[in-house]
Amino acid sequence: MLININGKPEEVEIKLNLVELILAKGLSVERVVIEHNLRIVPKEEWIDTRLQENDKVEIVSFVGGG
């Protein structure tokens, strides 16, 4: 299933939920924020949020900046 993550197309397993997505990418659940189809998803909803073909996902985190 093809979805768009951080501006790039990516092939993922069908019906992946957001927690699974983060773990699959080797990221830490604690330090990222997810926007799913332009809607920010609260962490408690991640497990119930399943991805669909062509979904747009943004995964962001904090970095040094001035």
DSSP readout, 33-46? Answer: EEEETTEEPPGGGG
Task: In angstroms, give the least distance from the CB of 42 to other proteins.
Answer: 7
* Residues 41-60 close enough to bind other proteins by CB under 8 A: 42, 58-60
Q: Binding other proteins by CB under 8 A: which of 2, 10, 23, 25?
A: 25
Going by C-beta distance under 8 Å and a sequence separation of 6 or more, which residues neighbour residue 38? Answer: 56
Which of the ranges 9-17, 24-32, 46-54 carries the binding residues for other proteins, by CB under 8 A?
Answer: 24-32
**Residue 48 burial (10 A CB sphere; 0-12, 13-18, 19+):** exposed
Q: Is 30 in the site for other proteins (CB under 8 A)?
A: yes
